[in-house]
Amino acid sequence: MLHTARMPRLVGMARLVGRTAPLATLQAALTAGAVSATGAVLLVSGEPGIGKTRLVAELTAIAPCPVLTGHADPEPGAPPLWPWLQALAGRPERDALGTIGAADPPRTADPATAALLARATRTLAFDAVLDGLTASAAGTGLVVVLEDLHWADEATLALLGLAAGRPGLVLVGTYRSTEQGPALRGALTGLRRREGTTSVTLRPWVHEDVTALLPPGTDPSWAPVLLRAGGGVPLHVTTLLTSLLDAGRSGQPAPPDGSWPLGVPDDLADAAADRLARLDPAARFAVEVAALTGPGCTPDHLLLLAEGPWDTAAALAACEAAVAGGLLVGTGPLSFGPAHALLREAVHAGLPAVRRLRWHARLADAVEAGALPGDPVTHRLRAAADPSGRAAAVRACRTAAATAAGSLAFDRAIELLDTALALPGSSPEIRTALGIEAAEAEFAAGRTRAAVARALAVARDTTDPAVLVRAALAVRGIGGPHNTDIVRLCDTALQALPAGDDAGRARVLAQRAQAAAETGGWVGLAHASAEALATAERSGDPAALADALRARQHAVSGPDGVTERLALARRMVEISQRGGPPDAELWGRLWRIDASFQLGAVDVVDVELGRLDGLSARLGWPIAHWHRHRMRAARLLLSGRFDEAEACADLALAAARLTEDHTAIGVDSAFRSESLRLRGRVDVAVELLRKAGGSGVVVGRGMPIFWANAGLNLIRAGEADEGHRYYELLRPVVRDLPRDGLWLPTVLHSGEIAAAAGDDALTGFCLVEATPYATHYIAGGSGAVRCDGSVSRVLGVLAAALGRTDEAERRFTDAVTMDDRIGALPYRVLSEIGLARLLAARDRERATGLARRAADTARRIGMATALTDAEAVLAGMRERPAVALTARERDVLARMAEGRTNRQIAAELVLSERTVETHVAHVLGKLGVANRAEAAVWAARNT
Amino acid sequence: MHATLHRTNGPFPDPAPDDGFVLRLVQIGGPVGLTVRFWPEPPADPSAFEVVQDRDLTEPTADPVAASVLTFTGPVSDAVLRATERDRRERIGPALEGHPGRVRMIELWQPELRRQVLLTLATSLASLEESGRMISSLALLPDEDEALLPGPDQVEMFRVEQCRLDPSVTR
């Protein structure tokens, strides 16, 4: 809403006192920010009553551009984004915020997907709001004031953080320095880090300030008395001064001992009571109602609570009288609020309890009936004085918590549920329901530890199988020690489940299988996931089947499971076609792409990518778009279409940004590092990986696959020492890696690092372990990021490093065939170069052909380093001195190659047989071959 | 039983061997000559194949006139191998049962290269072509997956110039 003056009309407060310097600082920043390409952020802090709002009112009154204002509310019933909703009232951007949580939650086979989708909805809404505000700010600037940020929810602070830096947008935030929660501290840290943020902390008044405050005719001896009695806090000092003026003693000297002579007020409650008592009854009633409603008090609220015959005009007049008395301020065209939060608290506390409870109950009824805007929670809580009132408050809290969670305001949801839990008298069933809802909200908010603790607490307090199943499923898909607790929760649920509940049992079994695998029980996953799947099949329940299929897919994600994974993928797709969750098809198609990459079935990958396009268009989900773009990028990279691949990766990242999913950054860096490496920009790839590894946001940076990828690229970039550090990390763990979807790529990359480090033992281990999969292609078995061509190529590298040239030749030869067959041009080029190097000394013709083909392809598709390598192989062969055979020795060799005996050669060349024997010995020696047959082979290839 | 395959470009340079079991094939519409020799013991040639299957088809006693040679260059993975074997056994085999003119099918496997060659002998080229058409129009079985059935890398059709095969020896 557009700002209206909110200045309390207290006596003596017409002028701003003692704030010249901070005001000048803020004015300068505001004026500059309104025309800046990066806007500005102005933060005003200080203790309660210090004058933050007053200072901001002064600042915005002279702002050269429109001002929007919203206030955070301390009440638990305040809706998420409440300050923004107020600030945007009447503007189109407010409708965008209304879309958050408005749609039905999507049905998904994966709870994490639902959270990502909700996040994407919020991001899109935030983008729409900020685009609208930025458009409004163009040219003139726009000021958004968000007051009392210490009460703000996380969503409000998140939007504030995103708004910072927008051109022409000046964000003004006030907060109590004494009441910063973790969310606000985090937000402030982020805001203060950026350029264009100005922070001002207001200090208590000093003697000169109080002196300047005194109206004409006031004896100056009151200044030190007011300062001491009010503690220098402007609100307290002005309240005392008002009392002094009302008592008619300001013209007289203060008591010589400096004491406050009027007995009270020594706290604000008394002062508020004094001032309230001086208002006429109607205005007093308006202030009391506003103390209940907060800043959104309208004449309708007064009409609802009035005992006698009132009309809107009378209610409005009462509000305006209270404004004139300095106890209310206008907060909108027809809305009012207490002049200060401290005043509101004081008035509220001073209301008779019976009346307060009755009023809150009536307000709650009206809100729930839709007769008044707002949220009933606050009123229900304040009216919760008896069992029925408390039950109503619990219901309101649960409803509001569900709404808040739907809007991604998980912090608010948890707060509401905790508030409900704190109310006495709820039944055990209600308390366990509140507990499990809180556990789910904690997990959705990313607080795994708290979520597990709550789930455990719920499980201790109930024997209800349905609740125990929810507790067991509340936290999913995590790594680390909490999985031990999840296994315990699953065991408890399994013991409680009745015999016929196959659906519940299957879901818990699937959860237990995956959690147990994370705690070192990988070996048991195969059996446990099979049991879960068999149970789910008996139940026929789509959700149970989806859970069990996911567990099973995880269990067989290693290279030996490729056939079964294809079957699981087909079933997952079928689930969505039989009325199951629509994202089951998404996962099924992704699993098929992973398996098809591993098999080199690129035609199937292409078909699935086409289906993924259609599915993404139907679902419209950012997570689906992320997957389709990133998988297409992987397919294009495999073909050596680097520009198109990176363009797809850009689209993928843009879609992922909407979901705020940090795993996308890790996936992107893994993809781009390979693309850059193949293009010959391994230096840039290394920088990217360093940034990803050091940023602290890449999920998986502590995983061996990340070490292997980063280490290998560092070594390729010549950063041997840094690469060696990853080798040291990998060395102790490679032999014990679980055979999951990451196992094969990790072992192959580790082998290459070990080869570079001269660790023959580890190189040999990796070679032996990966050799059974020589016919496969390198891709992850569960969430592939890319396909790195044939396994045989890396086996060739490892064998060559160990000096096993025959084996290396065979692997490289296979690799060329395999990569050629699927059109994996970049990897075929690498295979050809590897083979050409190997053959350069003993089969020049074949080596030359391979290197030339590699060079041609590398030049055509833009592989700078590979081109250099291929040309180096060719140059090396040109520079290597030809074998210096004499003319007679060449004659002898030619006849040896034709299978002539020494006697036949002697006869043909008219030489003695002894002389021919000598020539043959020289030829064998110069060629470095063992016998006539090898000499014949050499001749066939080199002459 | 083992087999060696020897290809020539153009007419066969040597006369057909007068001993052992041999197939001499001349490519239809191409220059390739293919000599397949069968050996009871492993020959010295490291590229020799193993005969892993030799089946009579609908007209086992007829003289073959045409042959198809399907080559899976390899290396073929175990997963694909298992799937293709099952595919031939459960999908293609039953579908072609009773199809006229088919004489014999011999499956060769080169374990080092993991390469597979399928030789099918028939009484006419038309019979082979009709078989091919039938196979390509067959739907996969419900639990079969196209990702595991990549198809041959090479399909060649030949005229049978010489066929000296004794069933009792090759299986």
Please report residues of B whose CB lies closer than 8 A to that of A791: none
3-state secondary structure of A383: coil
Q: What is the mean pLDDT of chain A?
A: 87
Q: Which position has the token pair 């210096």?
A: A884
Q: Which residue of A has its CA nearest to B114?
A: A775
Q: What distances in angstroms separate CA A119 from CA A253, A445, A731, one per listed residue?
A: 64, 11, 39
- Torsion-angle region of A533 (φ positive above 0: left; ψ -120 to 50: alpha; else: beta): alpha
ipTM of the complex: 0.88
Whether the pLDDT of residue A274 is over 80: the answer is: no
Give the pLDDT band (50/70/90) at residue A104: low
Q: Which has more pLDDT, B18 or A746? A: A746
Residue A510, min C-alpha distance to chain B (Å): 24
Residue B57, min C-alpha distance to chain A (Å): 30
Residue B13, min C-alpha distance to chain A (Å): 17
Whether the pLDDT of residue B22 is over 80: the answer is: yes
Long-range pairs of A525-531 with CB within 8 A, sequence gap ≥ 24: A525/A551, A525/A554, A525/A555, A526/A555, A526/A556, A528/A555, A529/A554, A529/A555, A530/A555
Whether the pLDDT of residue A616 is over 60: the answer is: yes
Please report residues of A whose CB lies closer than 8 A to that of B114: 775
CB pairs under 8 A between A and B: 50
pLDDT at res. B65:
96
Whether the pLDDT of residue A597 is over 90: the answer is: yes
Residue A777, min C-alpha distance to chain B (Å): 10
Q: Are A164 and A195 in contact (CB under 8 A)?
A: no
Q: Which position has the token pair 């069990």?
A: A548
| Optimal mutation site among B76, B82, B145, interface A, most CBs of chain A within 10 A | B145
- Torsion-angle region of B151 (φ positive above 0: left; ψ -120 to 50: alpha; else: beta): left
Mean pLDDT of A807-819: 96
Q: Is B147 close to A776, i.e. CB distance below 8 A?
A: no
Please report residues of B whose CB lies closer than 8 A to that of A595: 147
Please report residues of B whose CB lies closer than 8 A to that of A821: 73, 153
Q: What is the pLDDT of residues A385-439, one digit of tens each?
A: 889 999 999 999 999 998 888 777 888 899 999 999 999 989 999 999 999 999 9
Please report residues of A whose CB lies closer than 8 A to that of B80: 599, 775
Q: What is the pLDDT of residues A45-60, one digit of tens each?
A: 998 889 998 899 989 9
Q: What is the pLDDT of residues A345-373, one digit of tens each?
A: 888 888 888 888 899 999 999 998 989 88
pLDDT at res. A396:
92
Residue B6, min C-alpha distance to chain A (Å): 19
Whether the pLDDT of residue A207 is over 70: the answer is: yes
User: How much of chain A exceeds pLDDT 90, in percent?
Assistant: 49
pLDDT at res. A784:
86
For A632, other C-beta atoms within 10 Å of its C-beta total 24
3-state secondary structure of A426: coil
Q: Is A775 close to B150, i.e. CB distance below 8 A?
A: no
Q: What is the pLDDT of residues A862-890, one digit of tens each?
A: 999 999 999 999 998 877 655 667 778 88
Q: Is B80 close to A776, i.e. CB distance below 8 A?
A: no
Q: What is the pLDDT of residues A223-269, one digit of tens each?
A: 988 888 788 888 888 888 887 887 888 888 888 877 777 754 555 66
3-state secondary structure of B71: strand
Supply angle C-alpha A506, A512, A518, rounded to 5: 145
Give the pLDDT band (50/70/90) at residue A12: very low
Q: Which residue of A has its CA nearest to B80?
A: A599
Phi, psi of A78, rounded to the nearest 5 degrees: -60, 135
Whether the pLDDT of residue A477 is over 80: the answer is: no
Of B74, B75, B147, the CB nearest to A601: B147
Strand-pair partners of B33: B8, B26
pLDDT at res. B169:
52
Q: Is B147 close to A596, i.e. CB distance below 8 A?
A: yes
User: How much of chain A exceeds pLDDT 70, in percent?
Assistant: 94
pLDDT at res. A149:
93
Q: Is A563 close to B143, i.e. CB distance below 8 A?
A: no
Whether the pLDDT of residue A452 is over 80: the answer is: yes
pLDDT at res. A701:
45
Q: Is A775 close to B77, i.e. CB distance below 8 A?
A: yes
Of B76, B82, B148, the CB nearest to A566: B148
Using an 8 Å CB-CB cutoff, list residues of chain B that contact chain A.
73-80, 82-83, 112-114, 143, 145-148, 150, 153
Q: Is A566 close to B143, i.e. CB distance below 8 A?
A: no
Whether the pLDDT of residue A923 is over 60: the answer is: yes
Q: Which residue of A has its CA nearest to B149?
A: A601
Whether the pLDDT of residue A9 is over 70: the answer is: no
Of A599, A774, A821, the CB nearest to B147: A599
Q: Which residue of A has its CA nearest to B146?
A: A604
Q: Is A562 close to B73, i.e. CB distance below 8 A?
A: no
Of A516, A494, A519, the closest CA to residue A507 belongs to A494
Q: Which has more pLDDT, A404 or A836? A: A836
Element (H, E) at A817: helix A805-821
Q: Are A787 and A769 in contact (CB under 8 A)?
A: no
pLDDT at res. A183:
82
Alpha-carbon distance B72 to B88, whole Å?
Answer: 14
Whether the model pTM is above 0.80: no
Please report residues of B whose CB lies closer than 8 A to that of A563: 79, 82-83, 145, 148
Q: What is the pLDDT of residues B61-78, one digit of tens each?
A: 999 999 999 999 989 999
Of A31, A23, A24, A29, the closest CA to residue A65 belongs to A31
Residue B112, min C-alpha distance to chain A (Å): 9
Using an 8 Å CB-CB cutoff, list residues of chain A that contact chain B.
562-563, 566-567, 570, 592, 595-596, 599-601, 603-604, 774-776, 792, 810, 814, 817-818, 821
Q: What is the pLDDT of residues B121-160, one digit of tens each?
A: 999 999 999 999 999 899 999 999 999 999 899 999 999 9
Mean pLDDT of A154-166: 91
Please report residues of A whose CB lies closer than 8 A to that of B151: none
Residue B42, min C-alpha distance to chain A (Å): 21
Q: What is the pLDDT of residues A754-785, one digit of tens each?
A: 999 999 999 999 999 999 999 999 999 888 89
pLDDT at res. A478:
75
Alpha-carbon distance B16 to A823, whole Å?
Answer: 40
Of B83, B147, B153, the CB nearest to A595: B147
pLDDT at res. A225:
86
Mean pLDDT of A623-646: 96
Q: What is the pLDDT of residues B70-121, one digit of tens each?
A: 999 989 999 999 999 999 999 999 998 889 999 999 999 999 899 999 999 9
Q: Provide the token pair at A853.
A: 């083909």
Q: In what order do the strands lie in the sheet with A197-201?
A: A67-71, A142-147, A169-176, A40-46, A197-201
| Optimal mutation site among A556, A775, A787, A791, interface B, most CBs of chain B within 10 A | A775
Q: Is B78 close to A775, i.e. CB distance below 8 A?
A: yes
Give the pLDDT band (50/70/90) at residue A121: confident
pLDDT at res. A101:
65
Q: Which residue of A has its CA nearest to B82?
A: A563
Please report residues of A whose CB lies closer than 8 A to that of B143: 567, 570
Surface-to-core class of residue B97, CB atoms within 10 Å of its CB (0-12 exposed, 13-18 middle, 19+ buried): exposed
Please report residues of A whose CB lies closer than 8 A to that of B146: 601, 603-604
